[in-house]
């Protein structure tokens, strides 16, 4: 299973540059097979976006990957020069970002922002790229694609912008799409439409999807497998049925109890108990201590 | 912009063409008047700005007793027509404004963009230079510089460039910092663009509204600096009409002929104010993020 994963993150640790003993991601393993829809779940600050940023080589300056491998379609990304890496990533994967308000460049028309990758990386002619953009906008159910192509981002609503970003993500037929909480910034009524749209586009194109969310309900609806992250550590990696039937980690079990269930609407919701969180933190602290004792010398010397 | 405004999708906020803000209209009109005066000075000015006539010295403006027809704003201590000198003075003021401010803008903005975008080593160097520059009081710095490299229009322009590029550098660097953190920069990287392409194509256009506003403001500042240098006699020769030079001359005879001081001062004040307002107005009107 690991061997034919399209995205394979192995043993990834990310630290703060200012304090290299402080890990934001703790030996994370994560893989996504071709065509698979995998949920990545965790509370705010768990490190979900960090994983996405590592894949796309857009980590903030304050942090650094100190350990681990990221393999995309059989290519070890970290072994490539940064130029080769960005071309490889652009051709194989795309990101649907969290905030459609800032993810589009305010001073550029929509057309260029959808066709960028086609013309720059895949060598499409301007005309061919435009035709492709029109088709994509129709696929994401935008009524007047010609007009939208000519518009600037501020002339579109939040939902329209997210549709545009979805179209842009699918433009170059990537093998993998990472959707980082793509509906959080949207109006509740629009959220469902966008969610349905992403699922629909994924099925239509057969793209592998890493869906980042903090909502297990959404995971139950659209994902096959799920990875649960707590404090930068993977606490659960299973298929969705197994997750709800017999969660392996107490934190996951507590998380399930804290999530509204569509199949059991009368069940009362319980907050994640403090002792579960304490126990999970202790587990992480223990793992950190081990990790540090193995690499402490070099890390401490640098910090 | 007109065609997009009309065909914009209905889902967004309203995009009817907004009326031009009043301050943009007023400041733009004044600047246009000054520009026309500067370009067509020989045709507009009623008199030769250098012609002295001791019989006509210190004539008051047209509405006061003792004025002469044709000398609308009166004459100075040497009998030269004040209005004509103000009109010719616009030439020097605008030359300095355009040349010095544009050069300072190009140099400062380029360094600011590079420092703000690449951070690290380049930023360290640029920031240290800016810190050092900031520790000099600018007007004193200008006077010193001109005193060292010699008086004249070229020196004035050079002094303004050397001093004021940091104004652009600091603001553009800060603006670039802000822009770089926005998600569209990450989007562009994910789409596979090199850092240089992203800087030029994505980040730079987003800093333009700020740069344009600052450029306009800087033109006003350049006008003031030129006036100050003329005032202390470090700009071009005293015969040539400059607003600062006129103010300096007017100061000595303020009790006998206030108009020699007041009219160039008004011209200077309005022009500097107009440059600042014009820049702000442009920014408000054309920054897509604010629309
Ligand atoms: N630029 C940065 N510098 C230092 N630490 C950062 C930076 N960005 C994020 N972090 C830290 O990294 C951790 C993981 O952040 P991340 O953005 O991945 O969380 P997340 O799981 O995506 O949360 P959310 O659901 O709120 O988006 C957080 O504890 C955060 O404080
Ligand atoms: Mg996040």
Q: What is the pLDDT of residues B219-246, one digit of tens each?
A: 999 999 888 888 887 776 667 789 988 9
pLDDT at B17: 62
pLDDT at A296: 64
- Residue of B266, B269, B264 whose CA lies nearest to B249: B264
Q: Is A170 on the interface with B (CB under 8 A)?
A: no
- Kindly report the CATH number assigned to the domain that includes residue B135: 1.10.3720.10
pTM over 0.90: no
Radius of gyration of chain B (CA): 23
A302 phi and psi, to 5 degrees? -80, -25
Q: What percent of chain B is modeled with pLDDT above 90?
A: 54
pLDDT at B230: 85
Using the predicted structure, report yes or no on whether residue B5 has a pLDDT greater than 50. Answer: no
Both structure tokens of A38: 């995998």
Q: Is B189 on the interface with A (CB under 8 A)?
A: yes
The fold of A7-289 is Rossmann fold (3.40.50)
Are residues B288 and A147, on separate chains, in Cβ contact within 8 Å? no
pLDDT at A297: 62
Domain ranges of chain A: 7-289
Q: Is B183 on the interface with A (CB under 8 A)?
A: yes
Task: List helix spans (H) across chain A.
Answer: 48-55, 82-92, 110-120, 126-139, 145-150, 158-170, 188-205, 216-222, 240-245, 250-257, 274-302
- Residue of B103, B276, B116, B288 whose CA lies nearest to B206: B288
Which helix (H) or strand (E) covers residue A211, if one does?
strand A208-213
Q: Could you say which of B9, B190, B206 has the minimum Cβ distance to residue A95?
A: B190
**Whole-number average pLDDT of chain A:** 89
Both structure tokens of A297: 């010398």
Q: How many Cα atoms are found within 13 Å in the side-chain-facing hemisphere of A178? A: 27
**Whole-number average pLDDT of chain B:** 87
pLDDT at B9: 44
Cα(A220) to centroid of ligand 2, in Å? Answer: 20
Q: 10 Å Cβ neighbour count for A264?
A: 8
DSSP lists the bridge partners of residue A7 as A32, A72
Are residues A120 and B11, on separate chains, in Cβ contact within 8 Å? no
Using the predicted structure, report yes or no on whether residue A2 has a pLDDT greater than 70. Answer: no
Give the strand pairing for A93-96 and A176-180: parallel
Give ligand 1 pocket residues (Cβ under 6 A). Answer: A 16, 24, 42, 44-50, 60, 62-63, 214
Q: Could you say which of B11, B15, B288 has the minimum Cβ distance to residue A106?
A: B288
Arithmetic mean of pLDDT, B49-65? 85
> Total structural domains in chain B?
1
Using the predicted structure, report yes or no on whether residue A44 has a pLDDT greater than 70. Answer: yes
Q: Which residue of B has its CA nearest to A174?
A: B191
pLDDT at B291: 54
The CA-to-CA distance between both ends of chain B, in Å, stands at 13
ipTM for the whole complex: 0.86
Q: Which domain holds residue B203?
A: 21-44+60-286
């Amino acid at each position: 299973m690991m061997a034919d994963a399209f995205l394979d993150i192995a043993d990834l640790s990310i630290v703060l540059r200012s304090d290299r003993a402080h890990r934001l991601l703790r030996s994370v393993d994560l893989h996504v097979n071709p065509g698979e829809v995998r949920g990545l779940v965790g509370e705010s600050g768990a490190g979900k976006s960090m994983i996405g940023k590592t894949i796309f080589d857009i980590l903030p300056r304050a942090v650094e990957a100190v350990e681990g491998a990221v393999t995309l379609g059989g290519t070890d990304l970290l072994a490539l020069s940064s130029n080769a890496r960005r071309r490889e990533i652009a051709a194989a994967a795309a990101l649907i970002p969290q905030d459609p308000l800032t993810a589009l460049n305010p001073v550029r028309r929509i057309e260029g922002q959808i066709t960028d990758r086609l013309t720059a990386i895949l060598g499409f002619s301007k005309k061919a790229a435009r035709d492709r953009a029109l088709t994509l906008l129709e696929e994401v159910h935008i009524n007047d694609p010609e007009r939208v192509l000519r518009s600037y981002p501020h002339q579109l609503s939040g939902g329209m912008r997210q549709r545009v970003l979805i179209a842009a993500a699918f433009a170059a037929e990537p093998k993998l799409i990472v959707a980082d909480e793509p509906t959080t910034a949207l109006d509740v009524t629009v959220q469902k439409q966008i969610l349905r749209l992403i699922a629909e586009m994924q099925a239509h194109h057969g793209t592998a999807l890493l869906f980042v969310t903090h909502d297990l309900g959404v995971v139950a609806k659209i994902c096959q497998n799920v990875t649960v992250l707590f404090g930068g550590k993977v606490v659960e990696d299973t298929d969705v049925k197994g997750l709800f039937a017999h969660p392996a980690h107490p934190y996951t079990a507590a998380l399930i109890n804290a999530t509204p269930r569509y199949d059991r609407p009368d069940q009362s919701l319980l907050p994640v108990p403090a002792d579960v969180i304490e126990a999970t933190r202790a587990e992480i602290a223990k793992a950190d201590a081990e990790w540090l004792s193995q690499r402490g010398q070099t890390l401490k010397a640098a910090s | 912009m007109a065609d997009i405004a009309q065909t914009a999708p209905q889902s967004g906020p309203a995009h009817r063409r907004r009326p031009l803000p009043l301050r943009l209209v007023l400041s733009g009109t004044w600047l246009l008047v000054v520009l026309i005066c500067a370009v067509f000075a020989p045709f507009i000015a009623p008199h030769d700005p250098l012609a002295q006539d001791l019989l006509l010295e210190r004539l008051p403006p047209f509405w006061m007793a003792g004025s002469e027809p044709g000398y609308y704003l009166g004459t100075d201590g040497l009998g030269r027509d004040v209005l004509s000198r103000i009109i010719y003075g616009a030439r020097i003021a605008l030359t300095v404004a355009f040349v010095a401010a544009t050069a300072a803008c190009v140099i400062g903005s380029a360094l600011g963009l590079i420092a703000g975008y690449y951070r690290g080593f380049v930023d360290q160097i640029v920031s240290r230079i800016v810190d050092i520059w900031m520790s000099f009081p600018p007007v004193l710095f200008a006077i010193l510089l001109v005193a060292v490299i010699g008086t004249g229009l070229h020196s004035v322009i050079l002094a303004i460039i050397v001093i004021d590029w940091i104004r652009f550098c600091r603001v553009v660097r800060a603006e670039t910092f802000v822009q770089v953190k926005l998600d569209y920069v990450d989007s562009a990287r994910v789409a596979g663009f090199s850092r240089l392409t992203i800087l030029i194509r994505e980040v730079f256009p987003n800093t333009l509204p700020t740069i344009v506003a600052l450029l306009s403001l800087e033109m006003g500042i350049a006008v003031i600096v030129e006036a100050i240098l003329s005032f202390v006699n470090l700009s071009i020769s005293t015969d040539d009409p400059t607003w600062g030079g006129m103010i300096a001359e007017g100061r000595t005879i303020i009790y006998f002929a206030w108009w020699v001081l007041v009219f160039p001062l008004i011209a200077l004040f309005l022009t500097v104010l107009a440059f600042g307002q014009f820049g702000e107005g442009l920014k408000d009107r054309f920054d897509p993020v604010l629309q």
